[in-house]
Amino acid sequence: MDAISKQAVEAKMKYCEVCHGASGQGFQGYYPIPRLAGQQPDYIKNQLEAFDERRRVNPIMFNVAHVLSPAMQTALATNFHEFNPKPFGGGQKDLVAAGQKIFEEGIAKSDVPPCASCHGPQAKGDGQFPRLAGQLPDYVFKKLTNWSKERGQDPAKPDTSAIMEPIAHGLTEPQIKAVAAYLSYLE
């Protein structure tokens, strides 16, 4: 692994924070940008590779990811993981209980397993499975409702995100809103 300076990592972190917010807390606006604070390092690295290889579509992130060395990817992923991911909140509070039920129990009639089975009981993720706790509700909603348009764009190179496609399609928009609301308040 190439050695990179602390200053180079700090400069790139500042660059990332322009969009992802101070300490990677995310940005809630017209186009919500995800929280990276507390995110699983393996997941961040996998997603940077997916953007670079165009398995995940986002022109801005392609331009960012394709210039990062493997060492810089590791450094950024480690730094974001170490931030304190306080919950952003913002989800509809009246949907939290329904979202928690889906997260913990799934929806048997739709073949949707409990979200907790991969993302963990506290939604903190593990390895390739991302942390969802505290994620912006609008970001979760947009990603799940647009899954096929943004993920798995190269079927010859599937990654762990392929697991989510049938699950995303098995959820209705109200169910997605409920799960997003629940996740937005988790620490």
- Give the tens place of pLDDT for each residue, 48-61: 998 998 888 888 99
Structure tokens given for 57: 């579509």
**Model pTM?**
0.91
| Cβ atoms of 155 and 66 closer than 8 Å | no
Instruction: Using DSSP, state whether 33 is helix, strand or coil.
Output: strand
| Cβ atoms of 91 and 139 closer than 8 Å | no
55-100 confidence digits (pLDDT tens): 888 889 999 999 999 999 999 999 999 998 788 789 999 999 999 9
pLDDT at 125: 95
Distance, in Å, from the CA atom of 104 to the CA atom of 121, rounded to the nearest integer, reads: 7
> 92 CB contacts (<8 Å, ≥6 apart)?
137, 177, 181
Distance, in Å, from the CA atom of 1 to the CA atom of 145, rounded to the nearest integer, reads: 38
> 105 CB contacts (<8 Å, ≥6 apart)?
114
> 12 CB contacts (<8 Å, ≥6 apart)?
68, 72, 75, 76
| Cβ atoms of 16 and 76 closer than 8 Å | yes
Residues listed for the chain: 187
125-177 confidence digits (pLDDT tens): 999 999 999 999 999 999 999 887 777 666 777 667 778 888 998 999 999 99
- Domains of the chain as residue ranges with CATH: 6-82 (1.10.760.10), 93-184 (1.10.760.10)
Is the pLDDT assigned to residue 4 strictly greater than 70?
yes
Distance, in Å, from the CA atom of 103 to the CA atom of 140, rounded to the nearest integer, reads: 13
Distance, in Å, from the CA atom of 69 to the CA atom of 9, rounded to the nearest integer, reads: 11
